[in-house]
Amino acid sequence: MTLAEFIHDSKQNHALCLEAAYHANLTICTSWIIKSYAKSKDEAKDLFIEAMVILSENNFKNRIEPTQTLLSTYLLAICKNLIRQADRNKKFQKVDLENLPEVAGAEEFEAFGFGNETQLKSLQDSLEKLGHPCNTIIREFYFNQTRQEKITEMLGYQNVDVTKTMKYKCLGRLKDIFFKMYKQS
Amino acid sequence: MYQLNQKEIELIEAYHLNNISEEEKIMLTNRLVNEPEFRTAFEEFTSLLSAMDAQRRLQTRKFLKSIDQKKNTKIDGPTKNNLLWMILGIIICGLIFVIVRSKKQVKNDIKELKTDVNSTKENDTTLIKKDSQTFQNKTYPLAEANQATRLKISSKYYQTPEFGTVRSSEKDSVKTKLIRLYYEKQYSEITKIYQNTKTADPEIKLLIGTAYYHQAKWRNATSIFTEIQKDGGLHDEAEWYSLLCYLNDTDQANKFKSLARKIRSNPDHSFYNETLSLLSDIKNKKITLYIPD
């Protein structure tokens, strides 16, 4: 499967395409990781799954160019970068984190809570509070990576523009609820 | 609190996804510097989008791990059952094979027993029949044998007869002369002398007969041998040498047949064993002889 094919198939059904890509590349990638970097089978599988996540993320953000490059080559490149990154992180772990000097602005950084658990929990709660159809639109577009055309069909809207307007309105509402809940927690 | 409109949200989202042009980027940075309320709203919005990114990644990771679990359960569950089924199948096949084989063996044993009984009965009768019919059959294993083969077979069985010692009174007699000539292998001389002098001595007759034999004059030889048979004396020898003559004479096949049958039916015959082995030799050479009735 090439990158162009993956992008095309992903637009039709993202979950199905991702599953197919997983099955097609699991053995190639894991065996390569085990052979080249002397990793265990479980480590190799974790790395492959992480590479698949990055692939999915890059596809959502339109960061992949629809070339004739093989998907396996792309995934192997991601795996390579992940291993190098992990090696770099290992070096940083040697630093005594407990005795680090306090940095100004760290509290502010934490206030916005980049990727912590409470933030994710409040996001889920706020999504539930959002109600239909905003909940569906946000979930389908941002999490299930469904195309706007399909969402339009699903919800029976007149055209894509209506869905687009609805999506931004819902995002605005979600932001209000999310920060309200996050501040409360 | 600043409320973002659709265009602004679109712009922030594009910025978050890195899908923004340079012009838009400059415009956005200017606004972020100059409008603090817009800046707060922007920061809140980007943090929401980051949280959504994290949520999406988490969801994708879960989904991928669920595929892996599904795959594992698929492998673990049914393969164990399959293995059991395979083992059971092999055992059942083995049992069926053993049962079928033993049944077949029993059938074969019964068949063999039956055939054994029948064949022993048949063999007894057929052997007797065959024995009596071998010479009555129209075909006999010498029919197509050429003269060379006939000679080969007959020379295997032909032995020069031993003639008695010559008495002193008989010195320079015809008999001594013939015997001397015989051992000198002057067979034509012997036959010439025989044509001039007639004798009743079976030994001399046998000598002359074999002399004809050595000259391949089968008819002459057989006529002398029949004379000996009639007169008596060396009867068995005469018969045996006649048989060898008939063997070489293609036209005398019928006579060969009747004489061989005669010797074969008489176990006391001096050349009984020789006749049997001669016949079996002819048979083994797989040469057929057509003998008209």
Chain A nearest C-alpha distance from B36 (Å): 16
Say what the pLDDT of residue A122 is. Answer: 82
Residue B171 has a pLDDT of 52
3-class secondary structure for B173-221? Answer: CHHHHHHHHHHCCCHHHHHHHHHHCCCCCHHHHHHHHHHHHHCCCHHHH
> For B144, phi and psi rounded to 5 degrees?
-95, 10
Query: What is the SS3 string spanning A61-126?
Result: CCCCCCCCCEHHHHHHHHHHHHHHHHHHHHHHHCCCCCCCCCCCCHHHHHHCCCCCHHHHHHHHHH
pLDDT of residue B75: 45
- Pick among B48, B49, B70, B71 to test the A interface (most A CBs inside 10 A): B48
3-class state of residue A32 by DSSP:
helix
Model pLDDT, residue B172: 59
The DSSP secondary-structure symbol of B143 reads T
* In the predicted structure, residue A94 carries a pLDDT above the cut 80: no
Rounded CA-CA distance B174/B166 in Å is 11
Q: Which residues of B touch A57 (CB under 8 A)?
A: 53, 56-57, 60
Instruction: Name every chain B residue with its beta carbon within 8 A of the beta carbon of A23.
Output: 67, 71
CB contact under 8 A, B9 and A172: yes
Cβ-based contacts of A113 with chain B (< 8 Å): 47, 51
pLDDT of amino acid B168: 52
Nearest-neighbour CA in chain B from A94: distance (Å): 27
Considering only CB atoms, which chain A residues are within 8 Å of B61?
49-50, 53
Give the model confidence (pLDDT) of A128-172 as tens digits: 888 888 989 999 998 888 888 999 998 898 899 999 999 999 988
Ranges of residues in chain B whose predicted pLDDT is under 50: 75-77, 128, 132, 135-140, 286-288, 290-293
Q: A89 φ, ψ to 5°? A: -60, -35
Contacts by A134-143 with C-beta closer than 8 Å and gap 24+? A134/A166, A134/A169, A134/A170, A134/A173, A134/A174, A137/A163, A137/A166, A137/A167, A137/A170, A138/A167, A138/A170, A138/A171, A138/A174, A138/B52, A141/A167, A142/B52, A142/B55, A142/B56, A143/B52, A143/B55, A143/B56, A143/B59
Burial B117-149, CB ≥16 within 10 A → b, else e: eeeeeeeeeeeeeeeeebbeeeebbbeebeeee
Q: In this predicted structure, what is the pLDDT of residue A181?
A: 80
CB contact under 8 A, B19 and A62: yes
Residues of chain B contacting A178 with CB distance shorter than 8 Å:
48, 51
The pLDDT assigned to A76 comes to 92
Q: Residue A74: what pLDDT? A: 92
Across the interface, whether the CB atoms of A178 and B3 are under 8 A apart is answered no
Beta carbons of B51 and A49 less than 8 Å apart: no
How many Cβ pairs within 8 Å bridge chains A and B? 82
Alpha-carbon torsion (B263, B266, B267, B271), positive or negative: negative
Do the Cβ atoms of B47 and A113 come within 8 Å?
A: yes
Domain map (residue ranges) of chain B: 6-80, 139-290
Architecture of the B139-290 domain: Alpha Horseshoe (1.25)
Quickly list DSSP for B24-71.
HHHHHHHHHHH-HHHHHHHHHHHHHHHHHHHHHHHHHHHHHHHHHHHH
Chain A: give the shortest CA distance to residue B2, in Å: 11
Q: Is the ipTM of this complex over 0.85?
A: no
A126: nearest CA in chain B?
A: B48
Inter-chain residue contact A175 with B53, CB threshold 8 Å: no
Nearest C-alpha of chain B: how many angstroms from A62?
A: 8
Q: For residue A123, give the nearest of B13, B55, B67 by CB distance.
A: B55
Show the tokens assigned to B27. 């415009």
* pLDDT 10s digits, B146-177: 667 777 777 778 877 777 655 555 555 777 88
Determine which of B8, B46, B52 to mutate to test the interface with A (most A C-beta atoms within 10 Å).
B52
- Would the CB atoms of B56 and A57 count as touching at under 8 Å? yes
Say whether B67 and A171 touch across the interface (CB within 8 A). no
The beta-carbon neighbor of A143 closest among B45, B50, B59 is B59
B83/chain A closest Cα distance in angstroms: 24
Chain B nearest CA to A120, separation (Å)? 6
- Residue A19: its chain B contacts at CB < 8 A? 67
Report DSSP letters for B217-277, one per residue. -HHHHHHHHHHHHHH-SSHHHHHHHHHHHHHH-GGGHHHHHHHHHHHHT-TTSTTHHHHHH
**Digit-coded pLDDT (tens) for B195-243:** 777 777 788 888 888 888 888 888 888 888 888 887 777 888 888 888 8
Query: How many C-beta neighbours within 10 Å does residue A148 have?
Result: 19
